[in-house]
Structure 1
Amino acid sequence: MKKFLKISSVTILVIGIVSVVALLLFGRNNHSNLSGSVSEKIDQYLTNEKFQGTVLIAKEGEVLFTQGYGMAAPGLPNSPSTLYQIASLSKTFTAVAIMQLVEKDLLSLDNPISQYFSDFPNGETITISHLLSHSSGIPDYLTENAEFDYSKEWKPNDIVNTIRDSELKFTSGKSFSYSNTGYVMLGLIIEKVSGQSYANYIEQHIFEPSNMVNSMFTVPPGVPKAQGYVDGKAGPFIHNSAAYAAGDIISTVEDLELFDRALRNHVLISKETSELMSRTHAKKFPHQYGYGWYTQDVMGKQAVGHSGGYPSGFRHYITRLNDEELTVIVLSNEMTINSKRINRHLTSIVLQQPIWIWQEKF
């Protein structure tokens, strides 16, 4: 028995050593297979990955790289001006709109949502801050309702009503749970406070001052846009009302860079407000969330970012490294592409810093 235990211990030790060595040898990618300038390396990487979509990288206020890959739709190649449903990247716009109203003293982050939804259960204990940071405990209507019909036209209040009678997932402010419902409610609050429709408010107070002339909520007939794909086949139809303030914006990588630039130049909100949005207000491993942004450590640097996806075949990711003034935007119209992983490797290439395997995920 002692001999068996000794052999087992040695075996475990050897396996541990081999695992560590393998991690050190193969767990880090320095992109040594790429050559040329940074832009050339980026192009090689995306080509090698068979990426389908559009990428834009901006550094210190200038566009460093932008290019489309593959097809946006039959007969329409992807390009930096291709229109995309940006899905949950819309949440940052909703959060900025709320913060604009806070700056104008039209609402407070501590306001209970009972002021805007008089009969909503537990509305007295749930605040606007909780909605912004996904710490309200309100269930996500997309995961709570497995049979949610994306194809039909939805009114925002009807979306909220799908979970009205559901119990909170936890006491508000005590944890983190991503809730599209909370951002639908924020859109309704914007309408009640501003007196404008959500779409009109975003157009007037965010698109226009950012010079985002190619961003919208409905694509006019005949205007080409990206089609979503799942494993190379056209994805299912989703009505553009199915996400409302949680994900209905249509934009391009070029316009998203203009939005990013407007935030960095404090055109839309003050520096102090932007910093408040970028602080962690809720967390549950492995997630940390501010207001409209995931708060992150990206390759040792303080950053914020957000994912976006539609089951119709879209997967997006944006990362903003604040101190580096670096923004990496990845929009993909192929559901099987891991846009966050692509985003992390592009960041690694631009920083000329090797990336560990776990840094692809966080």
Structure 2
Amino acid sequence: MRRWMRPAALALALLAGAGTTGFTATPEHPAGSAPAPAATLDPDLAARIDELARAALTDGVTGAVVGISDPARGSYLQAYGTADTTGTPMTTDVHYRIASVTKTLTAQAVLRLVDQGRLSLDDRLDEYVPDIPHGDEITIRDLLGMRAGVYDFVADEDFLARYAADPLLPGWSPYDALEIIRAHAGEATPPGEATVYSNSEYVLLGLVLERVTGRSAQQVTTSVIEELGLPETSYPTTAALPEPFAHGYVNTDSELAPPDPGAEEPRDVTYSNPEVPFTAGAVVSTVPDMLRYAEQLATGAGLTPETARLRQEWTPLTSSGIRVQYGLGVLRLGDWVGHNGSVFGYSDVVSHLPEQGASVVVMVNAADGEAVPATDLWGGIVRLLYPDSLPTW
């Protein structure tokens, strides 16, 4: 069953190594991102990261951006390749769709309402959104933790065909996702039985936000972004991205949306309707902003200590291989806390290693919403710098 945005492809891609090309780039300092360490990254390590990043420019990926902040090793911010197929150089300040990393901001908005006493983690879904299978049993906590058993609307074959044909999907609204959820009532499961990744649960949380606040989910998320001080992060209301931006392409090895036969370039899917991913994946940002946010997310910035603690009560997403767990809108991949994402055109990983106080953020400009190409590059960097940080079950 296909997944439009899913965490780390269940970490399987991390088990594969990345190639090398011998390319060496000049490091840049992150501007306005996480607090700058005292020194830049060791040149030899930087050169090896450059090799990994250049090797990632394949299967439709024309460019990548890597950001690292480590109080001991130093900082590194570098762009690779091009921002489009016409040869425009990739830069470190490009905007891109952060895909499922959006879920962390949606969860932040929900948990802020919990801290304010306007919402309870034990509230039932049907108090806010009616006629969802098991809605009288599903709690807000279940939705945040991917334990509600709600059918993932992006697995619907008719939806997938429509979205693959036209990512703009004119006229789409989150209520169309509800109709798909209801139509697949027989595929829902009771809440609390397992942790299963579902985009539907974060679309539902967006509607809960709107019901509780009387504001649009876009407005509520924007308020959270402003509270966190992320100036280049936004929730778009149109298909456009802020300048400068990287074009996004479908990876050429995609089975979900294969390129046209005989096409000389990967399919450009830069422009897509933000109402489709909604609060499960609509937000746009930059690597410097996400480098700052990685530490905020992992340390519970903006939340009370008790809520921050509850957010990181983990349940397993996998049972073998790299240890992957989910909290309340936050992913733990090995020892790394953060999230990743894949949406048409863009793939990224935003992560923080609490024990080292280090953050690593990676984006690449090709994805099909199922594969997470950024995971290979992220995994190569992490294995190089922090080889013991990806324990297995």
Pick one of 141, 163, 168 that aligns with 1:129.
141
* Correspondence 1:67 to 2:84: no
Query: Relative contact order (C-alpha < 8 Å, sep 6+): which is higher?
Result: 2
- Aligned equivalent of 2:261: none
* Correspondence 1:296 to 2:333: yes
Q: CA deviation at 1:45?
A: 2.8
Alpha-carbon contact 2:345-2:365 (below 8 Å) kept: yes
- Aligned equivalent of 1:96: 108
Letter in 2 for 1:246: A
State the alpha-carbon separation in 1 of the partners of residues 289 and 52 from structure 2. Answer: 24
Pick one of 232, 245, 259 that aligns with 1:225.
245
- Aligned equivalent of 2:48: 41
Richer in strand (by share): 1
Q: CA deviation at 1:61?
A: 10
TM-score (norm 2): 0.74
- Aligned equivalent of 2:384: 349
Alpha-carbon contact 1:131-1:182 (below 8 Å) kept: yes
Deviations 1:239-285 (A, max 9, x none): 22210000000111111122234345654223432332222145453
Query: What is the DSSP-based 3-state SS (H/G/I as helix, E as strand, rest coil) of the residue aligned with 2:332?
Result: strand
State the alpha-carbon separation in 1 of the partners of residues 273 and 16 from structure 2. Answer: 42
- Aligned equivalent of 2:219: 200
State the alpha-carbon separation in 1 of the partners of residues 329 and 242 from structure 2. Answer: 33
Alpha-carbon contact 2:221-2:235 (below 8 Å) kept: no
Alpha-carbon contact 2:345-2:366 (below 8 Å) kept: yes
Query: What is the DSSP-based 3-state SS (H/G/I as helix, E as strand, rest coil) of the residue aligned with 2:50?
Result: helix
Query: What is the DSSP-based 3-state SS (H/G/I as helix, E as strand, rest coil) of the residue aligned with 1:304?
Result: strand
Alpha-carbon contact 1:83-1:252 (below 8 Å) kept: yes
State the alpha-carbon separation in 2 of the partners of residues 141 and 49 from structure 1. Answer: 30
Q: Which runs of 5+ in 2 are unaligned?
A: 1-14, 25-41, 253-264
- Aligned equivalent of 2:292: 258
Pick one of 200, 204, 209 that aligns with 1:185.
204
Pick one of 366, 370, 374 that aligns with 1:339.
374
Letter in 2 for 1:65: Y
Q: CA deviation at 1:361?
A: 9.4
State the alpha-carbon separation in 2 of the partners of residues 246 and 132 from structure 1. Answer: 11
Q: CA deviation at 1:138?
A: 0.7
Question: Aligned residues, how many?
Answer: 326
- Aligned equivalent of 1:171: 190
Query: What is the DSSP-based 3-state SS (H/G/I as helix, E as strand, rest coil) of the residue aligned with 2:66?
Result: strand
State the alpha-carbon separation in 2 of the partners of residues 273 and 295 from structure 1. Answer: 17
Alpha-carbon contact 1:281-1:291 (below 8 Å) kept: no
Q: Flag the 1:344–1:216 CA change in 2: closer, same or farther, 3 A.
A: same
- Aligned equivalent of 2:349: 317
Q: CA deviation at 1:93?
A: 0.8
Q: CA deviation at 1:346?
A: 1.0
Q: CA deviation at 1:189?
A: 0.7
Query: What is the DSSP-based 3-state SS (H/G/I as helix, E as strand, rest coil) of the residue aligned with 2:182?
Result: coil
Alpha-carbon contact 2:65-2:78 (below 8 Å) kept: yes
Q: CA deviation at 1:199?
A: 1.2
- After alignment, is 106-115 or 328-337 more displaced? 328-337
- Aligned equivalent of 1:4: none
Q: Flag the 1:272–1:76 CA change in 2: closer, same or farther, 3 A.
A: farther
Deviations 1:129-161 (A, max 9, x none): 111111111110001344343331421122222
Alpha-carbon contact 1:282-1:290 (below 8 Å) kept: no
TM-score (norm 1): 0.79
- Larger C-alpha radius of gyration, 1 or 2? 1
Q: Which runs of 5+ in 1 are unaligned?
A: 1-25
Report the aligned-residue RMSD.
Answer: 3.2
Letter in 1 for 2:379: R
